[in-house]
């Protein structure tokens, strides 16, 4: 836009909230370029001036504000904006509001309609953990010693609901500030707590409440912590032998051999299946057990023992042992099968006796 040979001000009006009956509401009038010396006017409807700001080089005091209705309106200005706040909105405030700016020969203006809406309470609250929506009165699985963000959400209210977390003192937690996001003519409010649980926090209850002027009583959403302790260690070894992790397991061809996978120090006890190479002729016979851990009686040690009948074709293939909690892999160990036959032993014995 041009005014004579001078560029006009670019003026826009934004809002960061929803106009709600009974609430205060601010219209943000922004303009470029910045200027100290200006005349800014807010008008309601056709020609009702509700606020103005003047600042000229000739004035001894700058700025000068004029608010004809100080109980209803207030004005805040700087070099790039002039914000009008309407107090205690009601139906009489429904109107167009125009922000006009001039400085010397250049000017600009913008207009925005204000239509206050009635207050509305939230229709529900829910809890999310990561990307998983839990709703209310359910369990949430968390891992001991790891940080977890758990968010309480209040849906579809005007004005925003006030969210509050109630957390047992024994649960290490940091509560973050509430955020309020506008969706259409409503707010979705969120408040996140970051917890770092220990195994002793298993079964503790976390609650979130939402309060609102239109609610007779608070909405409540709670959940039980289901604290998981992942295995401290996993071992794969020949049954009856030294309980240490083996990278190679030596087995005799066509000779039944037992192999044990062990997960140490988990809570709860893990599912511990053993997988075999695709196309293998190994036929397993499986047995599983769980016992209190030697390291901590609140934890479990889990064993899975398999009996195999290896073939020469299985030589160099891997046996893998997986630890599962809630269908999630929380541990993995593997070892290579080294299959030898009787002929190999005879050749080795012949070689040794020949050298002797």
Peptide bond before 268: cis, by omega within 30 degrees of 0? yes
Distance of alpha carbon 118 from alpha carbon 90, whole angstroms: 9
Homologous superfamily in CATH for domain 124-228: Immunoglobulins (2.60.40.10)
Distance of alpha carbon 149 from alpha carbon 328, whole angstroms: 19
Q: What is the pLDDT of residues 288-312, one digit of tens each?
A: 889 999 889 999 999 999 888 888 8
CATH class, domain 2-114, is: mainly beta
Q: What is the pLDDT of residues 143-165, one digit of tens each?
A: 999 999 999 999 999 999 999 99
pLDDT (average), residues 336-345: 77
User: What per-residue confidence (pLDDT) applies to 153?
Assistant: 96
- The mean pLDDT value of the chain amounts to 89
Provide the 8-state DSSP code for 267.
B
Q: What is the pLDDT of residues 121-141, one digit of tens each?
A: 999 999 998 778 877 888 999
Phi/psi for 198 (5° steps) reads -115, 170
| 196-to-16, 161, 168, 297 alpha-carbon distances in Å | 34, 27, 13, 22
pLDDT (average), residues 254-263: 91
233-343 architecture in CATH? Sandwich (2.60)
pLDDT (average), residues 219-232: 95
Please tell me the least confidently modeled range out of 15-24, 109-118, 235-244, 339-348: 339-348
Q: For the chain, what are the domain ranges?
A: 2-114, 124-228, 233-343
Q: What is the pLDDT of residues 40-94, one digit of tens each?
A: 999 999 899 999 999 887 666 677 789 999 999 999 999 999 999 999 999 999 9
Provide the 8-state DSSP code for 178.
P
The answer to whether the beta carbons of residues 238 and 257 sit under 8 Å apart is yes
The answer to whether the beta carbons of residues 138 and 146 sit under 8 Å apart is no
Over 20-72, what HEC string results? ECCCCEEEEEEEECCCCCEEEEEEECCCEEEEEEEECCCCCCCCEEECCCCCC
Q: How many C-beta atoms surround the C-beta of residue 95 within 10 A?
A: 16
Grouping H, G, I as helix, E, B as strand and the rest as coil, residue 314 is helix
- Pairing mode, if any, of strands 48-55 and 106-114? unpaired
Q: How many C-beta atoms surround the C-beta of residue 194 within 10 A?
A: 13
Same fold, 2-114 and 124-228: yes
């Amino acid at each position: 836009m041009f005014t004579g040979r001078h560029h006009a001000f670019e003026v826009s009006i934004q809002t960061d909230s929803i106009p709600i009956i009974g609430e205060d509401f601010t219209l943000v009038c922004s303009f470029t370029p910045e200027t100290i010396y200006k005349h800014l006017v807010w008008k309601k409807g056709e020609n009702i001036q509700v606020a103005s700001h003047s600042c000229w080089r000739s004035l001894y005091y700058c700025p000068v504000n004029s608010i004809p209705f100080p109980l209803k309106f207030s004005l805040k200005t700087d070099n790039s904006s002039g914000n009008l706040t309407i107090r205690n909105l009601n139906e009489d405030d429904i109107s167009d509001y125009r922000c006009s700016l001039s400085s010397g020969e250049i000017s600009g203006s913008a207009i925005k309609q204000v239509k206050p809406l009635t207050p509305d309470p939230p229709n529900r609250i829910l809890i999310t953990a990561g990307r998983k929506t839990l709703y209310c009165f359910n369990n949430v699985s968390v891992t001991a010693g790891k940080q977890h963000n758990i968010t309480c959400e209040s849906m579809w209210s005007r004005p925003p609901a006030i969210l509050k977390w109630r957390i047992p003192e024994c649960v290490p937690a940091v509560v973050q500030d509430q955020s309020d996001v506008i969706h259409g003519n409503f707010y979705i409010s969120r408040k996140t707590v970051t917890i770092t649980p220990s195994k002793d926090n298993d079964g503790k209850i976390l609650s979130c409440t939402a309060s609102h002027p239109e609610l007779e009583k608070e909405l409540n959403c709670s959940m039980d912590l289901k604290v998981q302790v992942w295995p401290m260690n996993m071992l794969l070894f020949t049954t009856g032998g030294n309980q240490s992790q083996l990278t190679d397991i030596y087995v005799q061809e066509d000779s039944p051999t037992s192999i044990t996978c062990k997960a140490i120090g988990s809570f709860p006890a893990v599912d511990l299946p053993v997988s075999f190479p695709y196309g293998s002729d190994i036929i397993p016979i499986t047995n599983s057990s769980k016992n209190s851990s030697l390291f901590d009686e609140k934890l479990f040690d889990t064993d899975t023992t398999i009996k195999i009948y290896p073939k020469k074709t299985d030589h160099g293939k891997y046996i893998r042992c997986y630890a599962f909690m809630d269908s999630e892999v929380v541990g993995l160990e593997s070892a290579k099968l080294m299959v030898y036959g009787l002929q190999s032993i005879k050749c080795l014995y012949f070689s040794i006796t020949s050298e002797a």
